[in-house]
Amino acid sequence: MEPAVARGSDGGVRATYLATVAVLVAAVVAPEDAEAAGRKSRRSSVTAPARTKTKKATKEKAAKSGKAAKSRSGKRTVDRVASNDRRHGGAREDDEPQRTPRAGVLTPLARIIHCPADMVAVAGRVCVDRFELRLIDTQSSAAWSPFFPPDPVRARGIVAFYDELRDKESEPWLGALLPIPRVPTTFPDRATFKAISEAGVVPQGHLTADEAEGACRASGKRLCSESEWLTACRGDGGTDFPYGTSYRQGACNVYRESHPSWLLHGNAARYHDDPRNNLVATDEGPLLRKTGATPACASRWGDDAIYDMVGNLDEWVADAHGVFAGGFYSRPNKSGCFARVSNHPRAYSDYSTGARCCADPFVDG
């Protein structure tokens, strides 16, 4: 089972809509219908044109769409799905203004600590989730869809918006072809969720800092401080990247070849609430990978490791003003563990914002 695949260079994208994407979508939100959905969409394919818009036309369009970007609180509602916050390409995090100063690295303590089985002991100080989190219902333990914000009412509104938009869009963009995943129907409108850390699952995007913090708290954990997160990412060798001292393309799932909103809609600056963003793939595989699927991107601590701290999804850390770290798969980031964004409020979310949890350790003696 694979997401929708877009083939070709970033300058001239040739998008092929695979039948198996319907199987993946159905398996996430309606497993019993997966096989039938796959058969129904067996032969769809399409070719996307090269990007030929002039800079002037792009700026004019961005100026028009920017008026509906976000509410004052930072929360994006269904009628404000346009966002100019992210683009494929452009300035790296180090070139962007930071609202808050960067945190420092913690000094390791020479003591033995003990952590839960799903966490890794870091620097004699803190326990850190081995994988990016996913969400389950606190009452039923049913898995929430990672392609929607953890709010059933808002999620249904998002589906209604994109159902209508899809009817208006046309080929060759994937947005005209790729089915929109359905919201799970077994959750109450005011469902509450807790964080789970495990290998081989699609991690949860569309999280605000408060939602991430609440999910960690419901699991008896908490959001990592930025210093804890940064220390964990650098491993016991204290390197700037999980795998070593210098950037290596492809070692982590970051700085990928294209942007999902471009492949879906021909516009990387908009539609960041689209639940299909994290279902898009290229010749190199899914843009968003399952937890632990990039083994080289491992921050080593003794004989254990923490995965995907750079790339895959941005990860919220505990900061009163709002900070997420590590970069996500399409972010042009070569800063490794020092990648951070602090110019969004805690109420911000999009397809690329995830998290992992920390916890205080058990200490001998």
pLDDT at 183 over 50: yes
pLDDT reported for residue 171? 79
pLDDT at 90 over 80: no
pLDDT at 175 over 80: yes
- In three-state secondary structure terms, 2 is coil
pLDDT reported for residue 85? 34
Range 73-97 average pLDDT: 35
d(CA 165, CA 297) in angstroms, rounded, equals: 37
Q: Taking the chain, what is the end-to-end CA distance rounded to the nearest angstrom? A: 49
For residue 167, give the amino acid letter. Answer: D
Range 334-362 average pLDDT: 97
d(CA 102, CA 292) in angstroms, rounded, equals: 27
Q: In which band, very low, low, confident or very high, does the pLDDT at 240 lie, cut at 50, 70 and 90?
A: very high
Of 136, 112, 235, 142, nearest to 193 by C-alpha is 136
Q: In which band, very low, low, confident or very high, does the pLDDT at 172 lie, cut at 50, 70 and 90?
A: confident
The tens digit of pLDDT for each residue in 257-308 reads: 999 999 999 999 999 999 999 999 998 999 999 999 999 999 999 999 999 9
- Alpha helices (H) in 110-224, listed in sequence order: 152-168, 209-218
pLDDT at 133 over 50: yes
Q: 147 to each of 225, 351, 364, how far by Cα in Å?
A: 26, 7, 41
Burial of 97 (0-12, 13-18, 19+ CB in 10 A): exposed
Q: In which band, very low, low, confident or very high, does the pLDDT at 204 lie, cut at 50, 70 and 90?
A: very high
pLDDT reported for residue 113? 97
CATH of domain 85-150+191-253+288-363: 3.90.1580
Least confident of 28-32, 230-234, 276-280, 300-304: 28-32
Q: In which band, very low, low, confident or very high, does the pLDDT at 2 lie, cut at 50, 70 and 90?
A: very low
Contacts 24+ apart (CB under 8 A), 123-127: 123/231, 123/232, 123/236, 123/301, 125/228, 125/231, 125/361, 126/224, 126/228, 126/231, 126/232, 126/358, 126/359, 126/360, 126/361, 127/358, 127/359, 127/360, 127/361
Considering the chain, what percentage of its residues have pLDDT values greater than 90? Answer: 68
pLDDT at 8 over 90: no
d(CA 142, CA 151) in angstroms, rounded, equals: 14
Of 315, 290, 363, nearest to 125 by C-alpha is 363
In contact, 175 and 265? CB cutoff 8 Å? yes
Least confident of 11-25, 140-154, 178-192, 236-250: 11-25
Considering the chain, what percentage of its residues have pLDDT values greater than 70? Answer: 73
Least confident of 1-15, 305-319, 343-357: 1-15
pLDDT at 329 over 90: yes
pLDDT reported for residue 364? 83
Q: In which band, very low, low, confident or very high, does the pLDDT at 33 lie, cut at 50, 70 and 90?
A: very low
pLDDT at 205 over 90: yes
Q: In which band, very low, low, confident or very high, does the pLDDT at 97 lie, cut at 50, 70 and 90?
A: low
d(CA 191, CA 352) in angstroms, rounded, equals: 22
Rg from Cα positions in the chain: 20
Please give the sequence-ordered ranges of beta strands (E in DSSP) within the chain, or none if there are none. Answer: 4-8, 13-16, 113-114, 119-122, 126-129, 133-137, 193-197, 222-223, 280-282, 285-286, 298-301, 304-307, 314-317, 323-325, 340-341, 353-354, 357-359, 362-363
pLDDT reported for residue 101? 86
pLDDT reported for residue 3? 60
Domain residue spans of the chain? 85-150+191-253+288-363
pLDDT reported for residue 66? 40
Least confident of 81-95, 283-297, 348-362: 81-95
In contact, 187 and 29? CB cutoff 8 Å? no
